[in-house]
Structure 1
Amino acid sequence: MRSARLKLTLSYAGFLLLAGAVLLAVVWAYLLRYVPDNDQGLLGISPNRYLLLRMFTPAAAAALVFLLAFGLLGGWLLAGRMLAPLTRITDAARLAAGGSLSHRIRLRGRPANEFRELADVFDAMLERLESRVAEQQRFAANASHELRTPLAISQAMLDVARKDPEFDRGELVERLHTVNARAIDLTDALLLLSRSDGRNFTREPVDLSLVAEEAAETLLPLAEQRGITLEVTGEPARASGSPALILRMVTNLVQNAIVHNLPCGGSITVHTEPRRYASVLRVENTGAPLAPELVPTLVEPFQRGSERTRTGAQTGVGLGLAIVHSIVRAHDGMLELTPRAGGGLLVTIRLPAPR
């Protein structure tokens, strides 16, 4: 199979040869106008024109040969220069196919052309892929560790019970139930995170104010149990997405605000409002002061915020805000975390409004 460079070279040479032939034909026709053809000579051609033909033919043939050679050489060099960016893009694609995502093309040159645009798009794709793969690798390592922990605890308790005949079976069953429930919660959270990342859901109209009221009503007993005031304010704010995922998103935010709050006398405000091109949901809660450098890490999987205050023993599985972030991203929205001056956290979510 002939390469693109060879095809371009033959195309350049063929076009140049054709243009040369047309030019020579025009010159020949022009010369014939000024050479009389009165007398018939050899082969029915006048002596003057016969002489002109003998002089013009070798020169024309030499010119055509020169044009062919020049076209092949020049076409080969020009094609190589034109296809050089494509070669770099191909090499980068081959490295990426082999598993190396750190390579970048970084094609330079002004003005920007189609190859430059293609290279920039390819570099951006590689950067996103590398970031995504690194994130997935960290997530897989953390998930394996988190899933291994309850299994290891269960194994240790069973070993102790097997070696100690006097071990309290009722206590064993109760502790195994607790550990198993935590493993189930973690598995459910991982499945939900995978579902939201895949964006395999049907979009429907959703009113964030109704979702906020439903989530608050569900978690109100937990908030009252911990002495936390929970309030829902605002106006109807319509968005488009999965009702189940958006409900889980708001529920996670409210539950997170309850768990990470003041030990007593805390408050939570859930506010919704429509904007011109987006619907806004804000969840604000009191709590311990948060270091600014800690806030961006809260959306990372299994980051429970070691410097945050938890009211009670419930700490979750470390995927609450990670699931929220994934759901927001799947709905093409924006998530913003802001530490409050007096302590606690303000979470602002903007989802595109239905068109």
Structure 2
Amino acid sequence: MDRAPGPSLRVKLTLSYTGFLLLAGVLMLTAGWVFLNRVPHIGLVLIPDYRYAVVRSFAPTAAVALSFLLVFGLVGGWFLAGRMLAPLTRITDATRMAANGSLSHRILLPGRRDEFRELADAFDTMLARLEAHVAGQQRFAANASHELRTPLAISKALLDVARADPDHDTREIIERLHVVNTRAIDLTEALLLLSRADQRSFAREQVDLSLMAEEATETLLPLAERHGVTLRTSGDITPATGSPALLLQLTMNLVHNAIVHNLPERGTVWVHTRAGPGTVVLTVENTGEPVTPQLASTLTEPFRRGTERIHADHAGVGLGLAIVKTITQAHDGTLTLGPRPAGGLRITVELPAP
């Protein structure tokens, strides 16, 4: 916004300090004059026209005192205003650097807590979160570009093969193109769903997580049977408020992830819901290979896959748990991932109760 130039805040504070000091001086001199004028004084009573004598003696002293207060107020006010506004100058410099794209700079204002230091700490916290968000967005954009480029490159290669060898069996090429195209569509839909959940552009309704858990397990039962995984659902009625479509997608992603990242045979998935004090909780556990806490803490990052937990027949698009995290945050909930002692993963989604 273009603004007309004006006096700085330091000048305004200096003039305010000086004006207040001069006003106090005038009031003090006025009080002295009133005292001398109204209270009888034996030395002045004997002098004819003593009031004129008082004015003649008092006025020069008052002028000198006010002049001293003026100079002292300007110099002292300028110095005090500079000391008071020094933290604000550092905050302004950090703001300009952030506006120019430098998000790594921090104010780190020293001293005890006051209004300026609270503002500086809040600004540092905002910069840290903004830097992490921008870095995450950059990684996400780079990963998404790479993931989308892969199926396009494969499709181009298959089409080049078909064009170079017209007599080649086209059924195999068409089948592979179908698989690659399906993966690209799934990835695009996952990106759209992630963006929709992140923007919180959805209507909230009354839902029951226990019913969604049952629907998810029933829908994914054929997939579980193909992988030799047993699904077990239990829990209480868990009413919540949110988007039915997004919360169902959250539950589907958790159960799907637990099925495909399980033991090669005789695996188990436990889906449990419960209502706590002020919250509703959905927990999905699965058997599987041991997972380190370090790996578990990174699985919600977009396109992050634990290679030791991926089956060759279903690698996914790498956005399942990232979508779960975004939907949970969009519903003001918390997502917790942790390894099971016997191997596998335990994922807990905690949402506020209506």
Query: Which of the five TM-score ranges fits, normalised by the shorter chain?
Result: over 0.9
Give the whole-Å Cα distance in 2 for the aligned partners of 1:6 and 1:205.
Answer: 58
Code of the aligned partner of 1:343: G
The Cα of 1:73 is off from its aligned counterpart by 0.9
Match of 2:92 among 90, 93, 103: 90
CA contact (8 A) 2:10 2:81 kept: yes
Note if 1:26 corresponds to 2:31: yes
Please name the residue that 2:321 is paired with: 321
Secondary structure at the residue paired with 1:268?
A: strand
Give the whole-Å Cα distance in 1 for the aligned partners of 2:164 and 2:226.
Answer: 40
The Cα of 1:35 is off from its aligned counterpart by 4.3
Match of 2:55 among 53, 56, 59: 53
Give the whole-Å Cα distance in 1 for the aligned partners of 2:211 and 2:68.
Answer: 81
Secondary structure at the residue paired with 1:293?
A: helix
The Cα of 1:34 is off from its aligned counterpart by 2.5
Please name the residue that 1:337 is paired with: 337
**Counterparts of residues 144-159 of structure 1 (less than 5 Å):** 144-159=145-160
Secondary structure at the residue paired with 1:350?
A: strand
The Cα of 1:231 is off from its aligned counterpart by 1.4
Give the whole-Å Cα distance in 1 for the aligned partners of 2:25 and 2:274.
Answer: 73
Secondary structure at the residue paired with 1:297?
A: coil
**Worse overlay, 96-105 or 203-212:** 203-212
Please name the residue that 1:286 is paired with: 287
Displaced runs of 4+ in structure 1, greater than 4 A? 35-39
The Cα of 1:38 is off from its aligned counterpart by 7.4
Please name the residue that 1:73 is paired with: 75
Please name the residue that 2:242 is paired with: 241
**Worse overlay, 191-200 or 97-106:** 191-200
Give the whole-Å Cα distance in 1 for the aligned partners of 2:17 and 2:338.
Answer: 62
CA contact (8 A) 1:280 1:351 kept: yes
Cα deviation digits, residues 67-87 of structure 1 (max 9, x gap): 011111111111111111111
Please name the residue that 2:15 is paired with: 10
Give the whole-Å Cα distance in 2 for the aligned partners of 1:201 and 1:115.
Answer: 38
Secondary structure at the residue paired with 1:246?
A: helix
Please name the residue that 1:257 is paired with: 258
Secondary structure at the residue paired with 2:299?
A: helix
Q: CA RMSD in A?
A: 1.6
CA contact (8 A) 2:10 2:85 kept: yes
Give the whole-Å Cα distance in 2 for the aligned partners of 1:34 and 1:166.
Answer: 128
**Counterparts of residues 161-180 of structure 1 (less than 5 Å):** 161-180=162-181
Structure 1 stretches lacking a partner, 5+ long: none
Please name the residue that 2:352 is paired with: 352
CA contact (8 A) 1:280 1:350 kept: yes
Alignment: residue pair count: 347
CA contact (8 A) 1:13 1:71 kept: yes
Give the whole-Å Cα distance in 1 for the aligned partners of 2:253 and 2:199.
Answer: 19
The Cα of 1:97 is off from its aligned counterpart by 0.5
Please name the residue that 1:138 is paired with: 139
Please name the residue that 2:198 is paired with: 197
Cα deviation digits, residues 53-110 of structure 1 (max 9, x gap): 1111011001001101111111111111111111111111111111011111111212
Code of the aligned partner of 1:29: V
Give the whole-Å Cα distance in 2 for the aligned partners of 1:62 and 1:309.
Answer: 89
Give the whole-Å Cα distance in 1 for the aligned partners of 2:50 and 2:87.
Answer: 55
CA contact (8 A) 2:227 2:260 kept: no
CA contact (8 A) 2:235 2:273 kept: yes
Please name the residue that 2:298 is paired with: 297
TM-score by length of 1: 0.94
Quickly say closer, same or farther: Cα 1:153–1:309, change in 2 above 3 A: closer
Give the whole-Å Cα distance in 2 for the aligned partners of 1:117 and 1:176.
Answer: 58
Code of the aligned partner of 2:222: P
CA contact (8 A) 2:297 2:338 kept: no
Give the whole-Å Cα distance in 2 for the aligned partners of 1:143 and 1:134.
Answer: 14
CA contact (8 A) 1:35 1:49 kept: no
CA contact (8 A) 1:35 1:48 kept: no
Code of the aligned partner of 1:190: L
**Counterparts of residues 105-116 of structure 1 (less than 5 Å):** 105-110=107-112, 112-116=113-117
Give the whole-Å Cα distance in 2 for the aligned partners of 1:230 and 1:125.
Answer: 43
Code of the aligned partner of 1:323: I
CA contact (8 A) 2:155 2:180 kept: yes
Quickly say closer, same or farther: Cα 1:289–1:309, change in 2 above 3 A: farther
The Cα of 1:172 is off from its aligned counterpart by 1.8
Structure 2 stretches lacking a partner, 5+ long: 1-5
CA contact (8 A) 2:26 2:66 kept: yes
